[in-house]
Structure 1
Amino acid sequence: MESNPQLINTLAVVVLGAVVGGVAASIIRIPIILGYILTGIVLGAFRDEIGLQVSAISGTAEFGVALLLFIVGMEVSFQDLANRLAAVGAPLQILVTLGLGALLARSLGFEMVPSLIAGYAGALSSTAVALKLLEARNHIGSNLGSAVLAYALVQDLSLVLALALLPLSVGAASLGGAAAQVGWSLALVAALWAASTRIVPMMLRAISRTRSRELFILSALGLCFAAAVIADKIGISIAVGAFLAGMTLSRSEFRHQVIAESIPFRELFGSFFFVSLGMLIDLQFLLEHWLPVLSLTVMILLGKTLIIGVLTQMLGFHPRVAVSTGLALSQIGEFSFVMANSALKLDVIPRELYDLILSATAMTLLLSPLLFAALDPIAERLSRRVNFGRLISFVEPPGEDTSGHAILCGYGRVGRRICRLMKELNLRVVVVDFDARALRSACEHAYATVFGDASNPEILKRCQAEKAQLAILAMPDRFTTVLTAKHVRNLNPNIAIVARAHSSGSADELETQGVNAAVVAEEETAKAMVRECLVLTGIQVGKAEESVEDAPSARGHAGFD
């Protein structure tokens, strides 16, 4: 049996490069993806000396992106398509970005068809990077997370149609052949959808009875490879087949277990792709064409942020959610690579345009996490310069004689429970939220309500914060909570502020902004569970309460004077 030394050498270099890049990134405290890509670029500059072939590196990148997208597919769901962003916003974003990207490519001297492909590649975002950015800030499941996933999922699924039509652009297929390929692609999606409802759950249920983790993981990977092979046979990318297989598993009752078992693989396959992507960058091309690469990078980052942000806000989302969604999706990533690589193999695009897209992909992947990290200070500066209060209306502002009342910022699940308890204690509450439907519900329960962004001083003045005795900040977003606390304290130095926090770090930050008590959900849950344990093991209720209250805590208390 003959070995493939080129493949082994490439995998060895990629893995070692990932280790070096990951360690370097952790030392200098930059996102690990940046470490992978930068290490890949350095290795790519010496690939001839190392004895690596571009074809082997490209194959490693394709393998890595396919398995990465399989894991990403499990973390999204067809349910994410059930909102107005997926139905209206994402298709419009793809069309607008495609058109503007094609115009930019035409201005650089490329033909129409290659320009359209470049524009489409620029319209796609990196779902893997976007998910990492959301996870880092605990935004999975929030309004921001839902918005990002809606755009990302529509972008990813659009590639099925784009790859099916790609041969038609160079006459490699007739109109009938292209229609047949589209039909086969849709049939694959339908078959996987059908399998996700019965066949896959039955298979996983049977395997789970063996209590073998190895078989569980192998069965999931087997589905991935099967879908990838079928996708390749019908003419679409193996990466798309792997992604669809992942989405098939996302509908299973075993989804969380599969994801939990696959998290280490996601990091491994992600490192394969990002290091290989960096190695594919032609450094000489990058130096000789730095101006077009820089122009394309800036246009992609700013253009996509603006397009997605405007569309998201037009469809009724909070301005900060809109801006955050645009920044999270501002890069181009793994599906853009798949599209460019497929187009190059069919000679649809010239090598120069492929290198340009690849370079822009790497540059946007390097810069977008840094831009997303800078969101908070940017939003704070904007909040001081823009009077959003002029743009919003009020549902039912409190009366002029309101004083000594409590202001509740955020009428979600936590806020509703707080309101109910405050009402039982006969305390007057003014509810402020940006969700009109939530406020209508508050009005039905006879609470005074103000519609608007609680982090805006004008809105807090409408709530008469300077006369209130208590402010309760129950919003899920950390930055909004910090900014609101700062403005409330500036308006009323004597007010007592209680805020919701998601970690000890965010609680410490809130306290620096004048919050009297920051409640960390995990700490309070732990105390409640310990209290129940003490009572159930025979310790008297009073003694259990005393023991729990005396337990050390990272949080301080506030006395209301």
Structure 2
Amino acid sequence: MHASLPLITTFALAFVLALVFGYVAERLKSPPLVGYLFAGIAVGPYTWGPVADLWLASQLSEIGVMLLMFGVGLHFSVRDLLRVKWVAVPGAILQMTIATALGFVFAFYGLNWTVAGALVFGLSLSCASTVVLLKALELRGKLNSYDGQIAVGWLVVEDIATVVILVMLPPIAEILGISGSEPMGAQAILLKIVETLLRVVAFIALMLLVGRKLIPLGLQMVIKTGSRELFTLAVLACAIGIAFVASSIFEVSFALGAFFAGVVMQESKFAKRAAADSLSFQDAFAVLFFVGVGMMLDWHVLIEEPLTVLSVLLIIMVGKSIVAIVLVDTLRYPLHSSLTIGASLAQIGEFSYILAAQGISLKMVGSEMMSLIVAASILSIALNPCMFAAVDPFGKFLQKHFLWARKAALRENPHEEQKPAESEPPGQIVVQCNDHTTHRLALEFVRAGFPVVGIAADQSEAERLRTDQLSAVVGKVTDRATLAEANVDVAKAVVLSGLHFVDGSDAIEKIRELNQDVLIIVRTGSEEDRKHFDEETTANMVLMDDQMIAEYMTASVRERCASRIIIAQ
């Protein structure tokens, strides 16, 4: 490696190999995350060829952790969680407890690890990857289904619980005497726990009471400058700066600080723009995070300890799935819900790496655990699509051989609150409603006598549409299931708005697959995108905001002038 340019070399190796391996993984119908991990293995110290700077990669990975947690907080919705609280909250807590116990027993008795090491190992196996789950549900069109909402709500609870665990690991390490001091007594343990909780409460209170007002105010001041670059910089400064302050002053984890930065910003009116502007940075540093994790894998563990890796994989893919299926079935949910949740949890990902890394940094466990965790994670993520593919066949097998499965398949969701979207008669207009303009456009179509279905990005926007007596579905226009739910196959017209060319062309292609003859109207904000849509897609009309305003003003002036000429005559 070029000794004088370690940062540039690390970036170059990470991004180029992540692109190559990520592309291969995508073509093999696996999440790109698997490819990023293999890219890390390729540039790690345990393989031949160029080696990236592991210390530098770990520092960049910390930024990846901050932005990942910021993204979790930015998309955290209490409303969505409450919708599935009856199964997600008790299910996630019990499942994490049992999975931790399974991992602890295996590590303590099977691997002869210490209590601290076995505890960190069990905790690392207990939480699934939100990134992997969202990708899996999106690929199968189940992201907005009730089962998908349960799975996402379940993992939100896991994410919150993991954030709390990350905060509590340092005092637990001191309690067990890991830092080199003697084990603490009962009074010292109590004081340490209270001290840690007070720091966390103080930080949360500061964020909710002060940050909730100051952050939107600061963003408002930046927006008034009219500079998109400054707004993006402000969002990143909030995410990374607050995480740094949380660690430096309150001695809580970067993860917790970044998470609450996202939570506070999510409640402001700038949440959507903040999410959109920071997404590319989140994706880029998330790639570096996974590459950094892959660099920590000593692939020799697959040869030297294949049975150990297989045992860990069985705990993740079989043990956790069975626990989840039993818990969801016990709560009287349908069989397909139980099996979907079981498949969703049959993998581990980003939080497992974060927990393992913190346990290693606190000297609670040796670095060899990271190789086990990463090896099992890569295998579980790669095999997770098979688990989802097996849901329907396995469900039919259970119904054929077991009476309880046949009864479970006939159950209704006991606490389902969200009703399916209203079905509109054939010939409706489908409008992607993502701002005030498209919302108003949908209302104008209704006033003109057209049936309208609005596609909303989130539940709050959908509720605003329904308040105005509009039918609404929640999802992305690039998701086939969302388009099908909006009855695009029988629509007269589809209006797309505010999409980048890549997403827009993907949406147009999927719309055409459902309805070859539908009129597709695209509203875009740049001349470059307008040319791309015109020349490279099958959109019928592509309009720019400036163009529409000019045409409207011209028509208004002509109408006004014509009326005056008539009066004068």
TM-score when normalising by structure 2: 0.67
Aligned to 2:20: 20
Q: Secondary structure at the match of 1:72?
A: helix
> Residues 54 and 47 of structure 1: is their aligned pair in 2 closer, same or farther, counting only changes over 3 Å?
farther
- The Cα of 1:123 is off from its aligned counterpart by 0.8
Superposition pairs for residues 254-269 of structure 1, below 5 Å? 254-269=270-285
User: Out of 135, 140, 144, which is 2:143 matched to?
Assistant: 140
Aligned to 1:311: 327
The 8 Å contact of residues 18 and 36 in structure 1, kept in 2 or not, is answered as yes
Superposition pairs for residues 407-486 of structure 1, below 5 Å? 412-414=419-421
The 8 Å contact of residues 237 and 342 in structure 1, kept in 2 or not, is answered as no
Aligned to 1:97: 99
Q: Secondary structure at the match of 1:52?
A: coil
* Structure 1: 5+ residue stretches without partners: 396-409, 419-501, 508-517, 531-549, 555-561
> Residues 60 and 206 of structure 1: is their aligned pair in 2 closer, same or farther, counting only changes over 3 Å?
closer
> Residues 54 and 207 of structure 1: is their aligned pair in 2 closer, same or farther, counting only changes over 3 Å?
closer
- The Cα of 1:4 is off from its aligned counterpart by 6.9
> Residues 389 and 292 of structure 1: is their aligned pair in 2 closer, same or farther, counting only changes over 3 Å?
closer
Aligned to 1:119: 122
TM-score when normalising by structure 1: 0.67
> Residues 236 and 132 of structure 1: is their aligned pair in 2 closer, same or farther, counting only changes over 3 Å?
farther
- AA of the residue aligned to 1:93: Q
Superposition pairs for residues 82-231 of structure 1, below 5 Å? 82=82, 83-106=85-108, 107-167=110-170, 168-169=172-173, 170-171=176-177, 172=179, 174-175=188-189, 176-195=191-210, 197-231=212-246
Q: Secondary structure at the match of 1:281?
A: coil
The 8 Å contact of residues 138 and 479 in structure 2, kept in 1 or not, is answered as no
Aligned to 2:361: 345
Tell me, in whole angstroms, the C-alpha distance in 2 between the residues paired with 1:209 and 1:504: 32
The 8 Å contact of residues 33 and 290 in structure 2, kept in 1 or not, is answered as yes
Aligned to 1:552: 517
User: Out of 242, 252, 264, which is 2:268 matched to?
Assistant: 252
- AA of the residue aligned to 2:488: E
- AA of the residue aligned to 1:111: T
Q: Secondary structure at the match of 1:44?
A: coil
Tell me, in whole angstroms, the C-alpha distance in 1 between the residues paired with 2:210 and 2:142: 30
> Residues 211 and 524 of structure 1: is their aligned pair in 2 closer, same or farther, counting only changes over 3 Å?
farther
User: Out of 321, 336, 344, which is 2:337 matched to?
Assistant: 321
> Residues 20 and 89 of structure 1: is their aligned pair in 2 closer, same or farther, counting only changes over 3 Å?
same
* 1:523-560 per-position Cα deviation (integer Å, ceiling 9, x unaligned): 44443889xxxxxxxxxxxxxxxxxxx98359xxxxxx
Aligned to 2:300: 284
- The Cα of 1:378 is off from its aligned counterpart by 3.6
RMSD over aligned CA atoms reads 3.6
The 8 Å contact of residues 141 and 480 in structure 2, kept in 1 or not, is answered as no
- AA of the residue aligned to 2:14: V
* 1:483-509 per-position Cα deviation (integer Å, ceiling 9, x unaligned): xxxxxxxxxxxxxxxxxxx999979xx
Q: Secondary structure at the match of 1:253?
A: coil
Aligned to 1:439: none
Tell me, in whole angstroms, the C-alpha distance in 1 between the residues paired with 2:243 and 2:136: 27
> Residues 240 and 374 of structure 1: is their aligned pair in 2 closer, same or farther, counting only changes over 3 Å?
farther
- AA of the residue aligned to 1:412: K
The 8 Å contact of residues 228 and 242 in structure 1, kept in 2 or not, is answered as yes
- The Cα of 1:282 is off from its aligned counterpart by 0.5
Tell me, in whole angstroms, the C-alpha distance in 2 between the residues paired with 1:343 and 1:147: 30
- AA of the residue aligned to 1:203: G
- The Cα of 1:290 is off from its aligned counterpart by 1.7
Tell me, in whole angstroms, the C-alpha distance in 1 between the residues paired with 2:4 and 2:304: 34
> Residues 267 and 135 of structure 1: is their aligned pair in 2 closer, same or farther, counting only changes over 3 Å?
farther
- The Cα of 1:15 is off from its aligned counterpart by 1.0
- AA of the residue aligned to 2:244: V
User: Out of 510, 518, 522, which is 2:488 matched to?
Assistant: 522
- The Cα of 1:220 is off from its aligned counterpart by 1.4
- The Cα of 1:184 is off from its aligned counterpart by 1.0
The 8 Å contact of residues 278 and 362 in structure 1, kept in 2 or not, is answered as no
Q: Secondary structure at the match of 1:50?
A: coil
The 8 Å contact of residues 128 and 349 in structure 2, kept in 1 or not, is answered as yes
The 8 Å contact of residues 40 and 295 in structure 2, kept in 1 or not, is answered as yes
> Residues 519 and 265 of structure 1: is their aligned pair in 2 closer, same or farther, counting only changes over 3 Å?
closer
Tell me, in whole angstroms, the C-alpha distance in 2 between the residues paired with 1:375 and 1:330: 12
The 8 Å contact of residues 321 and 343 in structure 2, kept in 1 or not, is answered as yes
The 8 Å contact of residues 144 and 324 in structure 1, kept in 2 or not, is answered as yes
- AA of the residue aligned to 2:286: G
- The Cα of 1:69 is off from its aligned counterpart by 2.6
The 8 Å contact of residues 86 and 154 in structure 1, kept in 2 or not, is answered as yes
> Residues 249 and 413 of structure 1: is their aligned pair in 2 closer, same or farther, counting only changes over 3 Å?
same
- The Cα of 1:100 is off from its aligned counterpart by 1.5
- AA of the residue aligned to 1:375: V
* 1:38-61 per-position Cα deviation (integer Å, ceiling 9, x unaligned): 232233266574243433333333
Tell me, in whole angstroms, the C-alpha distance in 2 between the residues paired with 1:47 and 1:394: 52
Superposition pairs for residues 485-524 of structure 1, below 5 Å? 521-524=487-490
Q: Secondary structure at the match of 1:110?
A: coil
